Structure 1
Amino acid sequence: MMMSMREISSIANEICPMHVVINHEGRITGVGPTLRKLRPDTEWLGSRFFRIFDLARPRRVRSTEDLIKTAGAKLHLNFRDAPQTGLKGVLAPFPEGKGGFINLSFGISVLEAVRDYDLTSADFSPTDLTIEMLYLVEAKSAAMEASRQLNLRLQGAKIAAEEQAFTDTLTGVKNRRAMDHILNRLIASGRDFSLMHVDLDFFKEVNDTLGHAAGDTVLQRVAKLMVQCTRQNDTVARVGGDEFVLIFEGLIDRIQLSGIARRLISSIEEPIPFGDKTCKISASAGTSLSAAFSEGLDAATLLHQADVALYAAKNAGRARHFFYQPGMEEQDPEA
């Protein structure tokens, strides 16, 4: 027996309270109760999905049709208005391109849920929050539906495990563990790559004068800028309080890398709003190239060289980018 849309909506609200339903025009026709709580003043129904959300990845998405084609892939979104909370989800399409159901239960961090919205366990399904990716269509048979739900549970569990193990909860980019894994994989593959170590200048002053909440806002904004300045197959990782590492697979051209560093430093220098205040920082960067090693390349040495180049940039006046050169250690008092 086919269920009514009201019954489907009621079930969806219970098992997946962080969801959005869109039609073929990209307009929102349904939204979960917890998502409404994040933006209680938003006119959800009838609004265009892309007016409320900024889709960071996949970057190829430019339209509703593109969005529906991402079915099964991880989506990285942000609210367009402040606070620009990061969300992750998966879209399940309706038949005949008539829209889709977007499960956002994969994405909001516990830190943001508590700090920004005072969410509690009552705002989420009592079941595993990472297993439900709903296809709200009538199954042809009970066996097919059971098989599909099992596959969705397994895929959801895999996504959740990967995100938890390799993601920095504050910024949404990779963490040090992920960076180590990717470096070891690249070294084993023998492919050329470059590693850029970026450290924020004057970040301590932001924390000291405006508080750690302002510092968190700065880190989230910087992480977003780094993602925008890199390619989809590159890696952005937060490896310390205000330290980031960017890994560029297959890219060792110094001119291109210098251009990326220049754009990144320039964008980070733009004032970052925090309430009625502005946070002003800059960034220094150092880069090491895998191609500089004729043999015996290892991650620790590559990271050390990028770090030496970074501090050479800081000692030269900050807001600069240097490539590692032999002999730099002699000029670095911390080497």
Structure 2
Amino acid sequence: MLPRDTLDVLCPLHLQIAPDGMVRHLGPTLIKLQEGAVAQGRPFTDVFEVFRPRRVHDLAGLLDLAGRKLQLRLHSGQGMTLRGLVIPDGTGGAILNLSFGIGVVDAVRHHGLTSTDFAVTDLAIDMLYLVEAKSAAMEASRTLNRRLQGAMREAEHRAITDTLTGLQNRRAMDHTLQRLLRNEERFAVLHVDLDFFKQVNDTRGHAAGDQVLQAVARVMLDLTRKDDIVARVGGDEFIILLVGLVDRPRLSVLAERLISRIEQPISIDGADCSISASIGISVHLPDVAGAQAGNQLLEQSDQALYLAKRSGRAQHAFYEPWELRNAP
């Protein structure tokens, strides 16, 4: 029989069984799998259970399976399943050489095994390198995909967002407007233009003007619903699409609330900036004959805004063809 040191090198995952069925010696890797459990000097059936090709209860039964592939389960080490081959040792005992089979990856991770725990000719370590390389490549690919998807989402967000106010921009508003028209939704268009905003830029500078626009955006978001669309479409011009809201009294109340809130002084660097707003409103009713197209709705809200401006500003007006025709 080979010396133990030689067996430990050639078969680090092996078990020597004495003629009386007691464990004589364990290879260094098998000792790791025992996780501190004492095996030497105990019956081999206390260390593992052979369940294929049949159950084994003693050394004679184990030797009857010499040269055949065995499947066995360790009683310690979380019941790990191993593959094995048993051969007589020439003294009445047996040597059982073991391997992990397809469970090698889990074994390495769970027990912290390294290449020194395998025979130098064992192809398992080469497979482990391939598995680790594949895992690293897949993780790098997943990381790259996450970054690309994040960059795409960020680019898409920037493409539809006004960078100063965080509101949607003209492109996003046009897209939503066309969708509402295709779906024959009922909605209102509010065209909001700030009054006296140019004076803020002229007297306080563009930085102050930017802060005013940001404050106005917050007011609009605060007074509208989650599904409403609020967009900045020009320097001090905004469009609000109110989905499902076409009742004129309710639209008037909202317009007046917007004007009242926007008129509240905005403190910038310790000084107040005062502006107001004029609002023009058009309504889309797809079930009414002569329903408008998108550009018509925007033009109508613009005409109503012009009427509100001509009427003294800080007001709102609905699109009414006969009123516009008779406007001074």
Return 277-286 or 163-172, whichever deviates more. 163-172
Q: How many angstroms apart in 2 are the aligned matches of 1:210 and 1:192? A: 41
2:260 paired residue number: 266
Give matches, 1:1-335, under 5 Å. 145-146=139-140, 148-291=142-285, 294-332=289-327
Q: Does the 8 Å contact 1:309/1:328 carry over to 2?
A: no
Amino acid paired to 1:195:
V
Q: Secondary structure at the match of 1:327?
A: helix
Q: Identity percentage over the alignment?
A: 57
Return 184-193 or 322-331, whichever deviates more. 322-331
Question: CA shift at 1:215, angstroms?
Answer: 0.9
Corresponding residue pairs, total = 193
RMSD, aligned α-carbons? 2.0
Q: How many angstroms apart in 2 are the aligned matches of 1:236 and 1:306? A: 15
Q: Does the 8 Å contact 1:286/1:310 carry over to 2?
A: yes
TM-score, length basis structure 1: 0.54
User: Cα distance 1:144–1:229, how it changes in 2: closer, same or farther (>3 A)?
Assistant: farther
User: Cα distance 1:331–1:205, how it changes in 2: closer, same or farther (>3 A)?
Assistant: farther
Question: CA shift at 1:276, angstroms?
Answer: 2.5
1:115 paired residue number: none
Q: Does the 8 Å contact 1:196/1:247 carry over to 2?
A: yes
Q: How many angstroms apart in 2 are the aligned matches of 1:331 and 1:278? A: 38
The runs of 5 or more residues in structure 1 that have no matched partner are: 1-140
Q: Does the 8 Å contact 1:308/1:328 carry over to 2?
A: no
Larger radius of gyration: 2
Q: How many angstroms apart in 2 are the aligned matches of 1:207 and 1:289? A: 33
Question: CA shift at 1:204, angstroms?
Answer: 1.1
User: Cα distance 1:297–1:315, how it changes in 2: closer, same or farther (>3 A)?
Assistant: same
Question: CA shift at 1:152, angstroms?
Answer: 2.5
User: Cα distance 1:277–1:177, how it changes in 2: closer, same or farther (>3 A)?
Assistant: same
User: Cα distance 1:148–1:299, how it changes in 2: closer, same or farther (>3 A)?
Assistant: same
Q: How many angstroms apart in 2 are the aligned matches of 1:305 and 1:243? A: 15
Question: CA shift at 1:151, angstroms?
Answer: 4.8
Cα-to-partner distance string for 1:121-162 (whole Å, 9 max, x where unaligned): xxxxxxxxxxxxxxxxxxxx7577456534532431232122
Question: CA shift at 1:230, angstroms?
Answer: 1.1
User: Cα distance 1:163–1:331, how it changes in 2: closer, same or farther (>3 A)?
Assistant: farther
User: Cα distance 1:150–1:245, how it changes in 2: closer, same or farther (>3 A)?
Assistant: same
Amino acid paired to 1:188:
R
Q: How many angstroms apart in 1 are the aligned matches of 2:264 and 2:142? A: 47
Amino acid paired to 2:190:
M
The runs of 5 or more residues in structure 2 that have no matched partner are: 1-134
- 4+ runs of 1 displaced by more than 3 Å? 141-148
TM-score, length basis structure 2: 0.55
Cα-to-partner distance string for 1:294-316 (whole Å, 9 max, x where unaligned): 23521111011111111211222
Amino acid paired to 1:246:
I
